[in-house]
Structure 1
Amino acid sequence: MKKILTMVPLLAGAALLASMGVSSAEAKYTIGISNTVQGNGWREEMVCAMKAQALASGEVTKLNIAHRNTDAAGQLEDIRNLISAKVDAIVVNPADPAGIKAGLEEATKAGIVVVAVDQAVTEPSAYIISNNQEQYAYLGAKWLFQQMGGKGEVFYMRGAAGASADSDRDKGFKKALAENPGVKVAQEVFTGWQQDQAKQQMLSFLATGTPFNGVWTSGIDNVIVDALVESQAPLVPVVGADNAGFVGQLSSVKGLVGAAVTNPGSIGGAGVTLALQILDGKKPAQQTVLVDPQLWDNATDEGKAKLKAAADPSLSPEWPVSISIPEWTTYTKDQIVACKGPGE
């Protein structure tokens, strides 16, 4: 079964939840972390949220972090190394569910709690806490196609091929596409969720002269706006995530119409919380918890107000502004920005 949470993000400028510092709980657990994408602001915020939550909980003595650019085979190796290190729990953002399934099963058999964040896994013993990726894509694509008047060509900029989050988002995008038969995909690319790669793909597409009426991005957004502005191309509607740079552009770039769909990297901190709850004997009633997104656009007064409230230029442009998740994270803004875990 799945539990659905409505995302009411605590923004960087708002008061954060709960404890201002480290909990008085007894530190006794070692948590392993496995992530396969570096150089991506969303993933960096995710890892910082994991560190901050581990510190704020007071229950974690050490984090064993495998954080590098690799594929499913490399992640499987990392997971097996974490098993050998005898960690108490593993919080993993999976590169490919099938490719790491054996490792997750081995971890469970070794008595290690397994929590997947951001994306689903197929290993039935694992717990999952994730942003609702299908709904993320559907909300943004539905809004975009409405802005396009239900017709025209869209440049479809996906994430990483093989990632379950990308597959789920593709379902949501195609659901909205089916509801708008007048909209066609001008070109489809995989950005790998890398800023430089995505910007070059946008520039290369512009160079072809192919007509297009909108851009849907899988969270690589501010560099797409940069490419459009630098190329003096028409500012067609753009959909992205709630990254600080893009949120700022939606209020500052003249002529830009766009929408940010919330996709908090702080889900990493929520994953640590879930792992600690299970270790403390508080297993959730459902194996999967989904956090539903919101859409903030600059085409309505309500959306403009939300964008204004969310904007935080003090954050890295690639970091989501939704730096905390109610009921799941207890760190302060200073703690997540410092990006320090227990003992650091």
Structure 2
Amino acid sequence: MPAQQFVTVKVEEVTREAAGVVSFVLASRDGRALPAWTPGSHIDVVLSRDLVRQYSLSSGPDEARWRIAVLREPDGRGGSAHLHDRVKVGDHLLVSTPRNTFPLDLAAERHVLVAGGIGITPLLPMAAALEAAGKRWTLLYLGRSATSMAFADELGKYGDKVVLHRDDESGVIDVAAALDRLGAGHADLYACGPAGLLAAVEGYAGSRPGSRLVLEHFTAAPDAAGREDDHAFTVVTRDGRDITVGADESILDALSAAGVRSLSSCREGVCGTCETGVLEGEPDHRDRVLSEDERAAGDTMMICVSRCRGERLVLDV
């Protein structure tokens, strides 16, 4: 993956989209178009030196401005509260250029999109791209109630290609039955939302050989947690410093304790913010970001969860 770059943007609009959901429209400070991106992309928003959060782009990739939507998380780590309570029209934000770990493949004959709650955000530009390309597609959008479902009105322009399910009106959905009705058993299936929904969609795709599944994860991979056989190892920085990473700590934490600062957001290997170049050594990858080819290349890693297979890593930090 290319190295991350950052730009300063101006907040041009702040809109309440649903209960607990606010959108922010971002523009360049000089009026020029922001860098191009593709459906499924996200940006990192730097709120302070130690507060970086990741948000999917929900505007159209051909638009001059970017839009993100933020769900207030009462039990979160402060990012959503900061944006909801402190960011206003006219403010400037430092954000990364877009990166895509959830890319849309337009080659399939049929696409089925599945969104749960705020997981609708990366699927909005996917729906727009599929419609513009004249593809066969359907979006299943699940929420607790009408008031909690952001952008439902915006999706109305697609007519019956969008299926809305509200738990308070229709009860808990049978995901497999709903997907069968939409023809997902013979389609490319894209899903984004809470862990329970993704597990249900993953189980469905596993039982339908004709379905190809692509997920946007909000939670860590099963192997991201520590293991009994994890061992201590040494990380060497660009300037030749040796830093010991304990068996029960992450590379990110060990570097931070030694005064080497790296950007991070999720700390679970799902966002890609802490991606770091590997100059020597073999990473033990435990993220949900890198492809199998990128893992095999071994020249980059997510230092919030991944470790070292040997005794020594030389990192580009």
* Same fold by TM-score greater than 0.5: no
**TM-score of the superposed pair, with normalisation by structure 2:** 0.31
Whose strand fraction is larger, Structure 1's or Structure 2's?
2
Higher relative contact order (CA 8 A, sep 6+): 1
Whose helix fraction is larger, Structure 1's or Structure 2's?
1
**TM-score of the superposed pair, with normalisation by structure 1:** 0.29
